[in-house]
Each structure stands twice: as structure tokens, then as C-alpha cells.
Structure 1
């Protein structure tokens, strides 16, 4: 089909996101976060997140339509995150998307959350090349992926974390250091002015294949803090450098191993300033093109889900039935979740 205008809804965790995309362009978006409500617990509480989605979804829909300057009659499809994520949170978004698709007589697409992170980059840098490697780094996932056509082709996993995801390690280490939740931004700030070479923290599985491991690094930080007093900025910077070193080396190695010339880094941790800096330097040295979305598109948002819906609609993908289930532990094999 021709140009489609797609509404995207994201409620997999603690952000309520709504976005509207047409022909690869972001027309309007709105976002509400319940992060402050979870901060005192040191992590996301599913029941609090679900209630916040219920309260925020309609205002976000209204705001996104106002931002885009269009009405529901201008839409061609509805896309929604149906997995992975918190079950109670996913239920809220999927139920809303089903109701809207039925009421407006529109096709419905169940989108894989991580495919949404990849598609977010297209809103800033245009269509992805025919083949590329994506490094997904978030609170729950760390993977290198070999991508073809995101709407049509299977997604091939080149490497995955064996334990903690990178974002999870940031959160846990921030707690060890007495920094607030979420840990990624807190450590990024604390590391400024610190010496990234002050402490030789371990690089898990570096040189031992494509998979990732950050559990040992987290333990090394905890033992150091118990054993001796070091400047907070140095500990934060050295920890961050260990994570960034492993992520960028393995991502560049994956590109070389598969003859790919473009690396795309996405997910919440992709907003980290040091990761972006080191990735840019290493990709330049290796002759690779680097694509990273702006920080606002790295964290969870509805625009990225609408972007996948746009690709699926344009590709003529089969819509999901109105019985679309949630899939809290959906494996990433395609841009859509099982219907």
C-alpha cells in the first residue's frame, strides 16, 4: 500500500508512550512516566506501573493527536507492544489498542518491544541499510543482532547476555554506590570528572565469543566498595568504562565477522554519553557507519512502536486478530509478536 499513518502504543514497563508515524516520519508523540513513583522501591513495581498506564493513556492519546494535528479518521493502522514486558503493563496497552482498532475499524499489529527500539533509529536517520548489526542495550536486554528487512526478515541473534543485562548492571551498581534509580543516568552523571582507568574492573567474556556477562563486574564493584574507600567519580567512571569497552568491542567484532558496514546502537543505555563517544571512535577506526537515535528515542516511547507498525503496514504484513495475546517473555525472532 502507499503512505500509511500509524498509531503506536507502548506500555511494556513504566513509560506510557503514544506516537503517530507516517512514511517514516514522526508526526506527533506524547509520553508519561511513572518512574518517580518507583524510585523509592529501587525498581519498577508492576501494579504501580499498570495503574499509571490506565491514568495516562487517554491524556497521551489526546496529546499525540493534537501534536500531529490529525484525527482518528486519518489513521490507517494501530500498533501496540504486545511483548516482552511486565504482564500487567502490557495488558493495559494491548486492551486499549484492541478497543481502538475495533472502534475505528483499523488493522492491528502486535509489535515486539525490542524491534521497536531498532525502528526508532529510522525516525532520525531514515531507512535501515539492507544488512546491519544492531546492538540493543537496555534494562532487560543486551544483544547483538544481524538484521535484514525489519518488516519481512527473521532477526538473527549473534550474541546475548548470559546473566545481567547492561542496564540491569547499571541499576544494581548504582544501588551499591548509593546512587538513585534509575542507575544508568545516575552513573553517567557521577562518572563525569572521574578517571575511567583508575580501577581495572574485569571485562566479562571479552575475547571469549559473542555473548555478554556483567554479573562478575557487578560483584567486583561490590567487593571493592566493601574493601576500600575510593572516589565515587572514579568508581563510577571505571565501572562505566568496563561496560562500554565490552559492548563496543563485541559490537564492532560482530560487524567485522559478518561483513556488515553499519552498526546501530539502540535501547535505553544507548543514551549513555560515554557509550556513544567510544562507539563513534571505534566505528570510525574500523570504517563502520554508526547510527544511534537521539536520547529521547532511546528510552521507551510510542513513536518506536508506530515506526514498526509503519514498516509492517507498508510491507503488507498480515494484521493480528483482535484476540492478540500479550507475550511477557516473547523471544525476539521477528518484528511482530506471536498472535
Structure 2
């Protein structure tokens, strides 16, 4: 996992620029030996800004940025000339990125739209020049404001995948195989638990040029909500999926029991996940005949729309796409 290109957590020091100082200056020209104050204002310090990009799927490009520092604003000048603002630093992030205060764990905001820009750390305001401080009794103020200091803080960025359908199941339930069968995604596939160590996204083509996004998320094991196995690292990705497709293999000892455990882990992590639409796919069904499928229906939770599928033989995959599309669009 250390060598993976999928990075969904980064922590760095964010330091905005300080504002420039206001200027103490008096107008001096050949025929105006005692002109009034004309000191300009200081420039604003640079902001640290997050910008959403639909072209990014990971925080990998920020993994080694331990300090992000914006430019200070420049001081004001005579002739009421304002100092130049410090240059902003813009960090592009994938959609679904959450910015948190590293000390308090408070969520600041979330980036959910392409091109959305939010100031993460504000630059200091520039100070006012002495032109602002003249009065009837003090027409030659020798004072200007200093600029505000910049802000230095530790920030955590976490990525929660934005997808229409999230695949939920134990390791080796056939999630990666399904994703590779119905999309152009090529996740690693193997006949052993925890082949998928990081989430994979696939765009699923549908009829009439339509499509939807499916996320293959690492398999749940009992205790995931307490941090066992891959734990909380993957559970947060499920929060953003509008539909949860539970996948249980046909050779499971008890479909009802596996479903109950999967549901329990989601509930322990975040009870709101149970409000999402849920569907059930019985995978590896190419080993079953019609009679066996009928017998197995007694072990399937009755409240769930259920479908038998096989990614290897392509059995019922088109019907599955229909089922998912109708659930996504509320048809």
C-alpha cells in the first residue's frame, strides 16, 4: 500500500502571506513644499486556495508537500500607490476532498464541483497608508497601519470518492471482477482476500450515451468500523455513493448472515449510511442452475431488490445495469 498511487489523506502546514504595511509619505513637489499625506495602502497577503478538478482522482500530487506558503503583500508607496497583493497559491484537488483543521478535526468545507474555489487559509489584510488618518486637527499624520500577519495552520485533506454506486462486500466477493467486466477500469484481480487495497473507479456505459460511476471499495471484514483490516480508511468512501450494491458470493455459507454483518459494520461507522438505497447481487452464479437459485431465495433478505449475476459468464450483467440505472434515476 505504501507504493500505491492512490492517496486519500495528506497533512501539511498552510501559511498565508502577511499583508504589506501602509506607507507614511507626504506629497512633495516643486511648488508644493508642504503637501498633505499621500501614503498608499499595503497589499493583501496571498491566500491558500483549494480548487476542485474533475481530472484528478487522488491526492498523490500533494503527498510530499509538507509546507505550502503564499507570498507576502508589498508595502504601499507615496502618491497613494497601493502595494501589490501577494500571489495566491492554488492547490487543485479531486472532487470529494474534505478540508479539516488538523488540531481540532473540525471540517472546514468540502470541494464537490469542478472549478469550485474556496479559500483555505486567508492572507493578512494590507495596512492603511497615512492618507487615511488625516483629520482637521492632525493634517500631517506620521502613522500608517502595519499589515496583518499571515496565518500558519496544519491542515488535513481527506478524499471521499464521488460515485453513483459503491460496491460493498467481503474480500473476494467479486467486486473487482464486476468492475472490470462492465467498465474500462482494470483493477487488480486475484483469487485471494484483499486484492483490492485501494478504491477503483469505473465509468459504466449505459444506453443512449448515458453512463454512471461505480466505485470498487476494499472488502469489509467484521470490525472494520473499529479499524480492523482496512478499517475506516475505506469506509469513508462509501459515504458519497448514492447507491450501495451489496455483493455476496453464491458459495457463501449464509447470504443473510453475510448481509447482516456488512450492514452492521456500516451502521457502526455511520448510521446515515443505512438511509441509502441498497441492492443485492449474488455473484459467481454461473455455478447455479434455476432450481438451486429458487432454493437460495429463502436465504435472501426479502426487503432487498436482488439479482443473480456472473461476471465471468456475463450472466445478468445488462439486467444489473438496468436495475442500478433505475435506482440512480428513481425511475
Query: How does the TM-score come out when normalised to structure 2?
Result: 0.25
Q: Would you tell me which structure has more strand in proportion to its own residues?
A: 2
Higher relative contact order structure (alpha carbons within 8 Å, sequence separation ≥ 6)? 1
Q: Which has the larger radius of gyration?
A: 2
When you count helix as a share of all residues, which structure comes out higher? 1
